């Protein structure tokens, strides 16, 4: 493991501070004698609040309340809205009372991600009345956070989010006496559902308090049933293992494929069960595939930087592939944060005249963060400082401390629907390969995560032309390798409009795909998966920019998986098949080691 870099908490500042040409996080506070005491105190408070800044919360409430109080016209509009919603609800209910059957067309409809009211019992009285009353309240409160002159948009968005969280807590679907599904289950099981639910709650509470990893269910063993594409680790350093997968065809394309996964979770989201493994599918299509498996860092790696992940991760992997297959260009593919890092690497290589990339594929990866969706609600100076304080003592950000933010964005489905199912209906979570992956926790080094949040999310340095590598600024516009970009329709982590924006900052030939599904499900979309569709379009090098909504309207959906379209795209930019390369290069220091999936994947 690398030695920890000792960095002063508050380094002395020069009299005249030059423009920064590196991406270290800027100091958010001035030094003072007892600053360390204050930071330790905030770290303790951050653990108690889950990293949520009370100051940021109060600031949003105050901003919203004061501007609403000073806007009598807006308050009058809200009174009209309340009257209109109440009249719609009353009219609908009275029609049901007069006819003896509630009208099927309801005035308020749940969002497409809201599965709390799917049980047939919600269609009949009195449950339908409770549901419609709740949705009417939700509709009105959402209106209260619309723009008011002078109200900061971030405050409005945060208020909308917080109000939605509070309303979700009070939903009738969460109350056993008001939820027809819970009542039905209690009647049918004579109350056994509550006994089983209590056992599930006890199990989850113990796991939360002890942070013990969840046991892998039978039939989903890692390395045997999932993450089981044959291959060998051919290189290992402190932050990654490089896996080379064994050929499955008599001949392969001469250009290998390197996959750069996100370090926020483990790589095998792209190598789940054999039938839905993107890696296994690629190998079966006649490609030599390499994949990075990131280390699960501990406290001793607290000072790893973004540059370490680029240099000792992506660049080292490219160097290893060039030693195994010298003279070959490489198709590089990055997923989520791995795609962001790949874009940084590709821009750096272009700047430095390194032409080893045959193409660049970015899967649900952002390079511009001005439209990064509701994740931005958790990112302002106060929030990021709280996260930095939370990482101050432990040296990393743990996955449970991140999972809450991701789940809260879709709390109605990812939190409350699951809670009702486990604790009131007494049902176990059905095991799935993607569920096993989702529960496989990882950590992120404190310094690297702080750089990522500040330099990319908050300051948006990459697309703004202010992101420096080795002391020199890089530009996405320098990338000349053809691009294949994939966004997913219902992505709440990397919204597809944000993913699409790389077309605004590059001039290379670009193929954009918009596929059905979310951040993970849209990518893990193997051929034969029912109900899938995608849109695809190509922008030639140097063509004018088309905005995402215009692009969407001009490209019709095609049924099926986007994987074959990507396979055809890769094949059209590859040479004629040749004999498969050997595994590793022992004479070049790349002796084959453990079988895939390696050792880092098992770190807890």
Paired with 330 in beta bridges are 357
Whether 248 contacts 283, CB under 8 Å: yes
Max CA-CA distance within the chain?
Answer: 86
Question: What pLDDT was estimated at residue 14?
Answer: 36
How many CB atoms neighbour CB 81 within 10 A? Answer: 15
Counting Cα atoms < 13 Å in the Cβ hemisphere of 52 gives 16
Q: What percent of the chain has pLDDT over 90?
A: 69
Per-residue tokens: 449: 């995560």
Closest CA to 415 of 424, 425, 407: 407
pLDDT digits (tens, 9 = 90+) for 162-180: 898 899 999 999 999 999 9
User: Where do the structural domains in the chain lie, given as residue ranges?
Assistant: 33-212+376-385+398-436, 232-370+460-602
Task: State phi, psi for 240 to the nearest 5 degrees.
Answer: -160, 155
User: Is 176 buried (19+), middle (13-18) or exposed (0-12) by CB count in 10 A?
Assistant: middle
Cα 461 from Cα 458, distance rounded (Å): 8
Closest CA to 402 of 248, 264, 512: 264
Q: Which residue has the tokens 């998986």?
A: 561
What sections of 352-455 are H helices per DSSP?
381-394, 399-409, 411, 418-419, 433-438, 446-451
Based on the residue annotation, tell me whether 336 is a catalytic residue of this protein: yes
Residue 258 parent element (H or E): strand 257-260
Whether 407 contacts 415, CB under 8 Å: yes
Cα 92 from Cα 100, distance rounded (Å): 12
The confidence band for 404, taking pLDDT boundaries of 50, 70 and 90, is low
Per-residue tokens: 324: 């195994």
Per-residue tokens: 251: 């001949």
CATH of 232-370+460-602, one of 3.30.70.980, 3.40.50.300, 3.40.50.1820, 1.10.150.120: 3.40.50.1820
Task: State phi, psi for 379 to the nearest 5 degrees.
Answer: -130, 95
Mean pLDDT of 87-94: 94
What is the side-by-side strand order in the sheet with 357-363? 231-236, 240-245, 289-294, 257-260, 330-335, 357-363, 483-488, 510-515, 533-539, 558-559
Question: What pLDDT was estimated at residue 420?
Answer: 92
Residue 199 has pLDDT above 80, yes or no: yes
DSSP string, 120-189: GGGGSTTHHHHHHHHHHHHHHHHHHTS--TT--HHHHHHHHHHHHHHHHHT-GGG-TTT-HHHHHHHHHH
The active-site residue out of 291, 333, 336, 538 is: 336
How many CB atoms neighbour CB 544 within 10 A? Answer: 5
Closest CA to 548 of 510, 507, 498, 506: 498
Question: What pLDDT was estimated at residue 347?
Answer: 98
Range among 166-180, 350-364, 379-393 rated most confident: 350-364
Q: The pTM is what?
A: 0.88
Per-residue tokens: 368: 């511009």
Cα 565 from Cα 558, distance rounded (Å): 11
Higher confidence at residue 391 or residue 528? 528
Question: What pLDDT was estimated at residue 400?
Answer: 63
Residue 473 has pLDDT above 90, yes or no: yes
Classified as helix, coil or strand, 539 is strand
Higher confidence at residue 366 or residue 27? 366
Question: What pLDDT was estimated at residue 394?
Answer: 80
Residue 492 has pLDDT above 90, yes or no: no
What sections of 265-376 are H helices per DSSP?
278-284, 306-308, 316-324, 337-351
Counting Cα atoms < 13 Å in the Cβ hemisphere of 513 gives 29
Say which range, 122-126, 225-229, 414-418, has the weakest mean pLDDT: 414-418
pLDDT digits (tens, 9 = 90+) for 282-313: 999 999 999 999 999 999 999 999 999 999 99
Q: Are strands 468-469 and 472-473 parallel, antiparallel or unpaired?
A: antiparallel
Cα 565 from Cα 53, distance rounded (Å): 45
> Quick one: three-class SS letters along 47-115?
HHHCCCCHHHHHHHHHHHHHHHHCCHHHHHHHHHHHHHHHHHHHHHHHHHHHHCCCCCCCCCCCCCCCC
Per-residue tokens: 85: 């919603």
Average pLDDT of the chain, as a whole number: 89
Helix, strand, coil percentages for the chain (3-state, nearest 5)? 45, 10, 40
Per-residue tokens: 345: 């690497």
Cα 524 from Cα 529, distance rounded (Å): 9
Look up residue 226 and give its DSSP letter.
Answer: B
Closest CA to 380 of 28, 20, 62, 45: 28
Residue 362 has pLDDT above 80, yes or no: yes
End-to-end Cα spacing for the chain: 16
The confidence band for 506, taking pLDDT boundaries of 50, 70 and 90, is very high
- Calculate Rg over the CA atoms of the chain: 26
Cα 555 from Cα 540, distance rounded (Å): 16
Whether the CA torsion 147, 380, 549, 533 is positive or negative: it is negative
């Amino acid at each position: 493991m690398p030695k920890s870099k000792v960095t002063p908490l508050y380094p002395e500042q020069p009299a005249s501070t030059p423009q920064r040409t590196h991406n270290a996080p800027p100091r958010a506070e001035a030094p003072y004698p007892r600053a360390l005491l204050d930071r330790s105190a905030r770290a303790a408070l951050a653990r108690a609040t889950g990293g949520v800044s009370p100051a940021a919360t109060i600031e949003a409430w105050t901003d919203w309340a004061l501007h609403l109080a000073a806007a009598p016209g807006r308050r009058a509009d809200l009174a009209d809205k309340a009257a209109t919603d109440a009249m719609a609800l009353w009219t609908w209910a009275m029609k049901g009372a007069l006819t003896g059957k509630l009208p099927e067309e309801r005035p308020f409809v749940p969002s497409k991600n809201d599965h709390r009211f799917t049980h047939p019992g919600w269609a009949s009285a009195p449950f339908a009345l409770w549901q419609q009353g709740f949705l009417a309240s939700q509709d009105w409160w959402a209106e209260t956070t619309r723009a008011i002159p002078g109200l900061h948009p971030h405050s409005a968005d945060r208020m909308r989010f917080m109000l939605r969280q509070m309303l979700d807590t009070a939903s009738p679907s969460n109350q056993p006496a008001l939820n027809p599904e819970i009542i039905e289950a209690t009647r049918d099981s004579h109350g056994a559902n509550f006994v089983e639910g209590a056992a599930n709650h006890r199990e989850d509470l113990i796991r939360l308090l002890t942070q013990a990893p969840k046991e892998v269910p039978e039939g989903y063993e890692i390395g045997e049933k999932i993450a089981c594409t044959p291959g060998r680790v051919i290189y290992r350093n402190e932050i990654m293992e490089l896996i080379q997968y064994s050929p499955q065809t008599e001949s392969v394309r001469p250009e290998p494929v390197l996959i750069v996964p996100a370090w926020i979770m483990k790589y095998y989201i792209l190598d789940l069960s054999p039938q839905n493994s993107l890696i296994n599918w690629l190998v079966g299509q006649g490609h030599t595939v390499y994949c990075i498996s990131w280390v699960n860092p501990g406290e001793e790696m607290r000072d790893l930087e973004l540059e370490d992940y680029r240099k000792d991760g992506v660049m080292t992997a490219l160097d290893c592939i060039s030693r195994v297959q010298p003279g070959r260009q490489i198709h590089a593919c990055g997923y989520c944060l791995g795609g962001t890092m790949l874009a940084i690497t590709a821009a750096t290589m272009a700047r430095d005249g390194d032409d080893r990339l045959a193409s660049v594929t970015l899967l649900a990866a952002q390079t511009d963060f001005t439209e990064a969706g509701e994740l931005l609600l958790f990112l302002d100076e106060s929030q990021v400082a709280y996260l930095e304080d939370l990482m101050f003592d432990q040296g990393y950000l743990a996955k449970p401390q991140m999972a809450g933010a991701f789940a809260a964005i879709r709390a109605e489905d990812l939190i409350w629907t699951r809670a009702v199912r486990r604790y009131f209906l007494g049902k176990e979570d059905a095991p799935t390969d993607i569920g096993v992956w989702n529960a496989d926790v990882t950590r992120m080094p404190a310094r690297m995560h702080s750089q990522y949040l500040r330099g990319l999310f908050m300051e948006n340095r990459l697309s703004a032309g202010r992101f420096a590598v080795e002391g020199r600024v890089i530009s996405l516009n320098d990338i000349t390798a053809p691009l294949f970009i994939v966004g997913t329709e219902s992505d709440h982590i990397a919204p597809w409009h944000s993913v699409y924006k790389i077309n605004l900052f590059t001039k290379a030939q670009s193929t954009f795909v918009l596929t059905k599904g979310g951040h993970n499900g849209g990518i893990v979309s193997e051929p034969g998966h029912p109900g899938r569709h995608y849109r695809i379009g190509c922008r030639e090098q140097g063509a004018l920019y088309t905005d995402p909504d215009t692009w969407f309207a001009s490209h019709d959906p095609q049924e099926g998986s986007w994987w074959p379209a990507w396979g055809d795209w890769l094949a059209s930019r590859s040479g004629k098949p040749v004999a498969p390369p050997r595994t590793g290069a022992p004479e070049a220091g790349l002796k084959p080691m453990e079988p895939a999936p390696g050792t880092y994947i098992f770190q807890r």
